[in-house]
Amino acid sequence: MAAIFYPIIYFLIVISPLAVILLTGPYTDHGMPYELGKAFAFTGFIIIALQFVLSSRRKWIERHYGLDMIFSYHKALAVLAGVLILGHPVLLSLGLGNFQLLTSLSLPWYIWLGKAALVLILIQIIVSGFRINLHLGFEKWRFSHNIIGGLLLVGAFTHAIATSHSDLDITAVQVLFTAIPVTGLFFYIHHKVILPARLKKNAYTISAVQQQTHNVWTLEMRPPQGQKRYSYRPGQFHFIKLHRNKGLPEEEHHFTISSTPTRSETVISTIKESGDFTSTIGSTQKGDQVSIEAPFGRFSHLYHPEDKNFVFIAGGIGITPLMSMLRYMRDKETDYNVLLVYANHTQKDIVFRQELDEMTKKGHPKLEIIHVLDDPDETWEGETGFVDDQIVSKYVDNFDDKAFYLCCPPPMRKAVLKILKEKSVPNDRIRVEIFSL
Ligand SMILES: Cc1cc2nc3c(=O)[nH]c(=O)nc-3n(C[C@H](O)[C@H](O)[C@H](O)COP(=O)(O)OP(=O)(O)OC[C@H]3O[C@@H](n4cnc5c(N)ncnc54)[C@H](O)[C@@H]3O)c2cc1C
């Protein structure tokens, strides 16, 4: 129900200034292109203001969709706002019957400010869309994205007010036009300043650091004395920010909570050294502090009680959310049937191998594990190569009664999704976790 409620509310907020203008605004003899140009600007501006709400990871929104879907909307809406804002001066010029707005250099300051806001939104869209091609690191991108976003909102707002358009004389429009961006700014400040300060004050403590494989580490985190750990579902993830010795990066990253909520008062993440930040994960010390924002995500079998027979497909560190679910099923002594197809390069890359083997012996869940190595040594007797149609068809006897949970790198995900499509597995039985937002 809520899944449809929020888009409707969103739509109503976006069109609210326009609706008020249409219902109560003064008659104008400007032609259609001019009026449309104004409508584009109002709508584009409100979308931009609401981007600050969407990106502030509100749990009451996130729990219905998952953060990945919200960020997909955030990106699509940014493009829509860009198109609308780009169309604004073009349509106004068409309505005015001349293109001075676009070509003249002698324009009032507030028109230049509007143009600057337009350039900023284009920069946001292009840089975010092509960040990797531009070799821009995530942290640098995030910093510039936040600054440009704030400047864009203030610039566009000032431009609109300074043009002192007659529509802004309508009190209800004034209220909406101010309240919506102020709300956006409030969410922004809360997300960037107030929440991080609160999380740091209530920081968890690293209670154990364990090397799992040659490049994978497990961190155990304990809540502050006298506080209960947050509650979560197996397979969900959290954002953590480690406060460590000087010189070690203090960045916020998302990691699966690889532990199970059935256990203890701590939470655990298992992290692979894969880049600038994660390559320092092994330097984390017992006693270090960690800010945690949690939980997020909908990649959990608990969201799908109808699932009873599972095929888990993991690639490398993508095992973590599946491990959390398996640990939960083990502790709850469920009789689910689970086939785990677990791909790695070599034997020494297999994370949780011993624990997984022990699980198969226990029988809860009824777990079968197929390890697949693409770079095996001569001692390996299991499956080799990449996870392909042959391997999937060999071990999955029936595609009609199973739910498929995938967490693997993009090429493997693409290949497996293609196989599932060929086997006519409907989308509502395929659940995917993607390790990037
Ligand atoms: C839902 C989810 C769960 C995850 N669970 C795990 C897990 O259990 N174990 C694990 O090892 N990895 C997990 N990851 C991946 C992990 O977040 C990245 O490997 C890590 O952020 C890379 O950081 P880096 O600086 O070391 O690597 P880099 O090489 O610097 O970055 C690699 C990519 O990671 C992303 N990234 C980098 N920094 C950030 C950041 N601060 N916030 C968001 N994205 C960023 C960007 O797309 C970047 O291009 C998960 C990711 C997601 C989305």
Which residue would you say has higher pLDDT here, 355 or 436?
355
Question: Of ligand 1's atoms, which has the minimum distance to the CA of residue 67?
Answer: 1
pLDDT of residue 437: 66
Q: Do 39 and 170 belong together in one domain?
A: yes
On whether both 99 and 214 belong to a single domain, the answer is no
368 lines ligand 1 (CB under 6 A): no
Q: Is the Cβ atom of 268 under 6 angstroms away from ligand 1?
A: no
Binding site membership of 254 for ligand 1 (Cβ less than 6 Å): yes
Do 75 and 34 belong to one domain?
yes
49 and 179 fall within a common domain: yes
- Round to whole Å and give the CA distance between 307 and 403: 6
Claim to verify: residue 36 and residue 142 sit in the same structural domain: yes
Q: Whole-angstrom Cα distance, residue 359 to residue 373?
A: 21
Task: Of 3-7, 22-26, 277-281, 368-372, give the lowest mean pLDDT range.
Answer: 22-26
- Cβ of residue 138 lying under 6 Å from some atom of ligand 1: yes
Q: Which of 36-40, 164-168, 216-220, 344-348 has the lowest mean pLDDT?
A: 164-168
CATH code for position 405: 3.40.50.80
Mean pLDDT over residues 130-158, rounded? Answer: 95
Q: What is the pLDDT of residues 201-249, one digit of tens each?
A: 999 999 999 999 999 999 999 999 999 999 999 999 999 999 998 889 9
The pLDDT, as a whole number, for residue 353 is 98
Same domain, 380 and 244: no
Residue nearest to atom 13 of ligand 1 (CA): 255
Is 115 a member of any domain?
yes
Probe ligand 1: pick from 219, 252, 278, max atoms within 8 Å of CB?
278
Mean pLDDT (the chain) is 95
The neighbouring-strand residues paired with 385 are: none
Q: Is the pLDDT of residue 92 over 70?
A: yes
Kindly tell me if the per-residue pLDDT of 138 is higher than 70.
yes
236 and 195 in a single domain? The answer is no
Residue 1 predicted with pLDDT over 90:
no
Q: Note the pLDDT of residue 30.
A: 79
Structure-token match 């990253």, residue found: 253
Does the CB atom of residue 314 touch ligand 1 within 6 A?
A: no
Strand partners, 339: 311, 368
Domain boundary among 166, 199, 232: 199
Residue 42 lies in a domain: yes
Print the domain residue range for 411: 301-432
**pLDDT above 90 for 150:** yes
221 CB-contact burial (10 Å; exposed 0-12 / middle 13-18 / buried 19+)? buried
- Cα-trace Rg, the chain: 26
Task: Judge if 37 and 183 occupy the same domain.
Answer: yes
pLDDT tens, position by position, 170-192: 889 899 999 999 999 999 999 99
Position 437 in a domain: no
Is the beta carbon of 73 within 6 A of some atom in ligand 1?
Answer: no
172 and 124 within one domain: yes
Q: Which mutation among 139, 191, 253 tests ligand 1's pocket best, with the greatest number of atoms within 8 A of CB?
A: 253
pLDDT at residue 24 above 90? Answer: no
Please give the tally of structural domains in the chain: 3
Residue identifier of the C-alpha nearest atom 17 of ligand 1: 254
